Chain A
């Protein structure tokens, strides 16, 4: 119960392939992010899990149950929408109570059915049973909104609406929680707060969560594992740290944080198992990664480069000579654009008070640890 398995999922919209052979296994209790640019298929994947889209082919399991042919309203997936999709005409309390009322409507006898329907149409009609009432109260208290139960959604701030949407999805005790870009409508500060809030709530409830986002920072900071999607396909599924330090493709490297991407050709493998790569102008770089072919791409994160002036070191190990072209002060760090021959490097260094920024034109040396020269 609670895990999600997607097997050979394909989706074609009017002849356009939206998803191509997507296979995923999401563990129980895991916070799983689907990351990618718009149109990459991440939302479609989630909507297939929710049951709003019918896959062209493939199977979806929630727990051990094949849900591929189960209608959306019986899949027991709690969903938080990008726009929150709160019912504007119902109070916060009634929004959260909705799923419980619906359950009562389907499960109850004729009398309960009529009473519940009346209550759904006008909350002044018919009373909720004590158990439902308590569940809703608890759930609202859980997201710290108990005091706003009688407000209409329109009277709440964005962050509060977000928490109502969360409470509404969680109160039905779903097998899976689906979140579609839930933070994109919030301003930056609130987004950072809600990141923590959502993560904490998810941990407390321990619910399997699928989180769709185009923001790599969001995915990396919140998720246990991240699936990067591109053009309807899965590109890499990994933990955030592995994704960052060991991207499998140029796309992932580029999408997850900024990086220097260089063309190179493999010269040889030395006796300690390091690969020697020529990156233009007879410059050689050593990498601890093995190369599978001759022409490769090399990825170096800006913060993996150590920058120093003059002859502060006597080592010539993996060192490139360059000239600073532009220095940008970014607060905690400084970004230097460095020209090495006809190559362009971005280098991040930590800003230390008292140290002035290096002027453009300054001759510098760049040192790169072989373990951080990633070959794809």
Chain B
């Protein structure tokens, strides 16, 4: 009996080291090697160095040529990298500030007023989250482009030219504001909800007017939450690839686009490595900053009890806030509508409405792009399987065996922008012995790593929800640990795993940066097909495919939601 027990533990340990190895090979080494490349200016083959002496000696020679030249040259000019970094920082800061200003009243309305239609507004808020950003960007082109329907209306009303140039920094900022605001909305709603109403009443009791109470009590209490979501928006905006790739004009340098061009256009390894490292540093810094803000400022957790909220029902305030919320929500709604209209239009652009309607574009995608749909399903399915296996075991190790190292390693991808991960993987696995660049496997691994932190959160929370004594109860009733795991823990965890798995599937289907960077032609998924169609000028079929993606995502997300709801016994 004793012998079997110790064998089983060994098995678990082996499994743990296999998972560590996975992260080491596909995350740590690539990031490390890109760091080396940024200093040597030449490709470095780390895996080759381990197996082949010649490669090793050439690697060592390259390493002896280490210099910080690549970094200093950023500032001395010429490459345009510095400009790209500054532009990206400007974009991130601008979007973060704007989102905060735009969302603040909506968050307040959700958290603290008797605003009507809250569930409806909440449903609309999911639209931006399910639309890949490059599709939202194209939706903005459909609306605000030179032949966009908004501008047709604008001209009909007597305006001259266009409202604004959508292919500009302004366009990028607007798309990001309207499509990233839900990331900030819910944390801010939560921030407003934690303010204990008794504090506000105390302030009013002390003679403060309600606006003064808001400014001096409510707002300061919500501040950590607001700042933290602001920093989150910065990181999301800074790392976003979909919007700039569609909307950035030739003369606007942004770091993600620059990095993409360096690797995909010019095969400039050193340049893309430097840019990747810069992106990583910025993203990591803001991620760290966000953690610092949340840390130690958790006013909300002072009393463990849920605080009761008094909802503001001032008629004037509520109707103004409702109208404002509706207006903001209208933009993503119109964007989806535009994509849909374009997908059923014969041609569109001469007038505010399409010239005619047809379903031909859908026929086209099903006849010519069936392969892309299939690819998406296979890639997402593969990612799902690997993610489920790894994350289930990682959460088991972390929750039940206190393996905090694994927790740390598996959350590193949170700070790695998609494009950076893509570049790191391409460079590392470009040559033998592990020549994986251009294979579906590397694509699947990239998806897996990128989505791993989210999947782990999902499985970990369902693992933590199962109290240890449930397992002990089964054991005291006669079941061995294994039988208890199969008959009790398994069934209890299943909904959490299933919901997490569906969400992984969904994000893979809408993933843009990694697909565009890593997908081989044979394995082009739907998102890449949309992107290529847009580049080729096949706008209507791109829109039809985009609608298909959105429909799949909506259905799967609803399914995941239903599963998690049913989980609450």
Contact = CB atoms under 8 A, between A and B. Distances in A.
Interface of A: 50, 52, 71-74, 77-79, 81-83, 85-89, 98-99, 102-103, 105-106, 117, 120-121, 152-154, 168-169, 172, 178
Contact of A103 (B1, B473, B478): B478
Contacts of B473: 79, 81, 85-87, 168
18 contacts: A72-B472, A72-B475, A85-B467, A85-B469, A87-B470, A87-B473, A87-B474, A87-B488, A89-B491, A98-B477, A99-B477, A105-B483, A106-B478, A117-B487, A121-B491, A153-B569, A154-B569, A169-B477
Contact of B470 (A85, A117, A169): A85
Contacts of B492: 87-89
A72 B569 contact: no
A152 B492 CA distance: 14
Given A89-B569, A121-B487, A152-B569, A73 B467 contact: no
A266 B483 CA distance: 64
Interface in B38-63: none
Nearest to A171: B477
Contacts of B486: 117, 121
Given A88-B569, A89-B492, A120-B487, A73 B480 contact: yes
Contacts of B487: 98, 102, 117, 120-121
A73 B469 contact: no
Interface of B: 1, 467, 469-470, 472-480, 483, 486-488, 491-492, 569
Contacts of A172: 477-478
Nearest to A87: B488
Given A86-B473, A87-B488, A89-B569, 13 more contacts: A50-B472, A50-B476, A52-B475, A73-B475, A73-B476, A79-B473, A81-B472, A87-B473, A88-B492, A99-B477, A120-B487, A121-B486, A172-B477
B480 A77 contact: no
Contacts of A81: 469, 472-473
Nearest to A98: B477
B230 to A, nearest CB: 39
Contacts of A106: 478
Contacts, number: 76
B539 to A, nearest CB: 50
B564 to A, nearest CB: 14
B569 A102 contact: no
A79 B380 CA distance: 45
B488 A102 contact: no
Nearest to B488: A87
B208 to A, nearest CB: 39
Contact of A78 (B1, B472, B476): B476
B433 to A, nearest CB: 44
B477 A102 contact: yes
A178 B473 CA distance: 11
Contacts of A117: 486-487
Contacts of A86: 473
A207 to B, nearest CB: 15
B569 A83 contact: no
A154 B566 CA distance: 13
Nearest to B477: A99
Residue in B467, B473, B479, B487 whose Cβ sees the most chain A Cβ within 10 Å: B473
Contacts of A52: 472, 475-476
A155 to B, nearest CB: 9
Given A85-B472, A88-B492, A71 B569 contact: no
Given A83-B469, A117-B487, A72 B476 contact: yes
Given A87-B488, A117-B487, A120-B487, A79 B569 contact: no
Contact of A71 (B1, B472, B474, B488): B1
User: Which 10 A-B residue pairings sit nearest by Cβ, starting from the closest?
Assistant: A85-B473, A99-B477, A88-B569, A79-B476, A85-B469, A102-B478, A120-B487, A154-B569, A81-B469, A73-B475
Given A77-B476, A78-B476, A102 B483 contact: yes
Contacts of A73: 475-480
A82 B480 CA distance: 21
Residue in B1, B472, B476, B479 whose Cβ sees the most chain A Cβ within 10 Å: B476
Contacts of A153: 569
Residue in B477, B486, B492, B569 whose Cβ sees the most chain A Cβ within 10 Å: B477
A83 B487 CA distance: 20
Nearest to A106: B478
A77 to B, nearest CB: 6
A67 B487 CA distance: 26
A223 B219 CA distance: 56
Residue in A89, A152, A178 whose Cβ sees the most chain B Cβ within 10 Å: A89
Nearest to A79: B476
A178 B477 CA distance: 12
Contacts of B1: 71
B496 to A, nearest CB: 12
A85 B476 CA distance: 11
Nearest to B494: A89
A117 B470 CA distance: 18
